[in-house]
Each structure stands twice: as C-alpha cells, then as structure tokens.
Amino acid sequence: MWLVDLWAERHIADAQRNGEFDNLPGQGEPLTLDDDSAVPEELRSGYRLLKNAGCLPPELEQRKEAMALADLLKGIHKEDERYHELSRRLALMELKLRQAGISTDFLRGEYAEKLMNRFNEE
C-alpha cells in the first residue's frame, strides 16, 4: 500500500473513532452508485470529480451543445437569418464530435428510429 493510502486510512479511522461521521446526511440509507463501467478505469476518478463539480467531460459538453443547436434549428425557418449561422455551427460541432470518435447519429434521430424498430420487432 502506498504511503498516501496508509495516511488516508489512518485519518479515516481516527475520524470514525471521534464520531465525525455520525449524523451525516443520508446515514443509514443505501448508496446510489453511478454505473461507470463504460468509462475506462484510469479515467473514472477524473470523470467522477468533474461530475461532482457540476462539469461534464469535454466530449459530453460538445454533444450537449450540438443537441441544443439541433433543437434551435428545428424551431426556426430556413428563411430566418440565424438559420445559416446556426447550421454552420452545428456542422462544425458535428465534425469535432466525429473527430473525437463520437457517433453523431443522435442529431439525425436515426438512433431513436432504430430503437423503435427494434422494440416493434420484439
């Protein structure tokens, strides 16, 4: 065990003996753990840290922004002056996502259609 691990374990044990963990919110309730099995093991702690800080990993932040742009485009007409600028921003965002190895099917609705077809088949 690393020295830092031993140090941390000793501080945790001291805090338990001193009752510092008594009457904490959620005491006695089951833990709700996130399923992070799809995240590589070496990235899990970093992703969890970002999530707890209210941040998303850059790839998910870009995906969220792309979805917001797609929703905006659905709500305006092609004749609107903002349509051209928003569609260019969405195309750029889609390119960035593809370069990062992220599928952009969610922008086209193809995923939802495939999912519904699969449910209908079963």
pLDDT digit string, tens, across residues 7-49 = 999 999 999 999 998 888 888 888 877 777 777 788 888 888 8
At 87, phi and psi to the nearest 5? -70, -35
Burial of 70 (0-12, 13-18, 19+ CB in 10 A): buried
Q: What pLDDT score was predicted for residue 57? A: 73
H/E stretch holding 9:
helix 3-17
CB 61 within 8 A of CB 50: no
Q: Does 59 or 98 have the greater pLDDT score? A: 98
**String of DSSP letters for 38-81:** TS-HHHHHHHHHHHHTT---HHHHHHHHHHHHHHHHHHS-TTSH
State both tokens at 11.
């501080």
Q: What pLDDT score was predicted for residue 8? A: 92
Burial of 36 (0-12, 13-18, 19+ CB in 10 A): middle
